[in-house]
Structure formats: C-alpha cells, structure tokens
Structure 1
Amino acid sequence: MIVEMLHRKGLRSEHMYTAGFASIGLSVLTWIGSNRYEAFAGVDRADRWGIFVGEWAPTFFGLGLALAQYERADDEEVRRTKVPDDLSHI
C-alpha cells in the first residue's frame, strides 16, 4: 500500500498538507512568471502552466488525508496493545 510505504519513509500528513499549500502558491507564481515571459515571446500558454502545477494540490491534500487516517489507525492500534503500568503485575 502506497500510504503505508510513505508513512514508513517518514512522510506525515502535515508534510502533504504543506506540499498542497505550496503547490497552490507555486501555481500562481508559475502563471505570473510564465505570463510575463510569454508576453515577450508571443506565446500563449501561461494558463496551462498554472493549471498543470495547480493540479498537484488535490493530490497532496488527498495523500495528506490518507496519511492522517493511517496515522490515526496506527495510534489506536498502539493504544490497544499497550498494557497500562498499573496492570503489568497481573
């Protein structure tokens, strides 16, 4: 499972959420930069660059949600298997 592999590699939901917000900002910057450059070159594709980079955000947010769900399930499993200190003598 991809989510489990990402979790084992050290990626957490917060990392994916940060990447999602960063890709939104990068989308705007890419569109602005491309729009300025293409005005001089006479090419009309700035909107395509902005949309291309902007499509990354939903993927990152989706992975963030999947990792958050995996982390929550992992935490619950650890809590279920852990023996409280006051009951360890039984």
Structure 2
Amino acid sequence: MIEMLHNAGIKSEYAYAGGFASIALSLVAWLASRTKKDHSKAQSDRWGIFIGHWAPTFFALGVALKLEEKN
C-alpha cells in the first residue's frame, strides 16, 4: 500500500502536513462543538478525540513514505 501511495505521487511531507492539520482541526472541532447553545461537554470531547486520533495515522504514513522515498 505504501509503495502504491508513493507511486501515486504522495510524499511524506503531505502525510506530515495532514497530521499537523488534524491536530488543528481537532481543536477547531472541539471549540466549535463547545460554542453550540445546547453543547454537551462529553460530545465536544468525543469530537476532539475522534479527529485527534487521525494525527498518529498520518504521522505513521509519513514515516513509512519517507522510508519508501529512500529506496
């Protein structure tokens, strides 16, 4: 799969950027969920955590793609 992504032109820098973007998006989603009139702290936390879990996946893909780029 990593080789297929590499052959499609996906660079490790794109995956790293996706990881940092997901961290920022997690904060934005959490804040936006908290500003609703009928906000629930638990629901806000779940949104932030759900999106926050994307970051390690993107970073792991970045490392795998970096290793593929060296080959």
**What does residue 60 of structure 2 align with?**
62
The runs of 4+ residues in structure 1 deviating greater than 4 Å are none
Deviation at 1:54, TM superposition (A): 0.3
Equivalent AA in structure 2 for residue 6 of structure 1: L
Equivalent AA in structure 2 for residue 52 of structure 1: F
Deviation at 1:41, TM superposition (A): 1.4
Secondary structure of 1:48's aligned partner = helix
Q: What RMSD, in angstroms, separates the aligned Cα atoms of the two structures?
A: 0.9
**What does residue 45 of structure 2 align with?**
47
Larger relative CO (CA 8 A, sep 6+): 1 or 2? 2
Percent of paired sites with the same residue: 50
Instruction: List runs of 5+ in structure 1 lacking aligned partners.
Output: 74-90
**What does residue 24 of structure 1 align with?**
23
Superposed CA deviations along residues 30-77 of structure 1, whole A, max 9, x for unmatched, are: 00000111xx1153400000000000000000000000001011xxxx
- Normalised by the size of structure 1, how large is the TM-score? 0.74
- Normalised by the size of structure 2, how large is the TM-score? 0.93
Instruction: List runs of 5+ in structure 2 lacking aligned partners.
Output: none
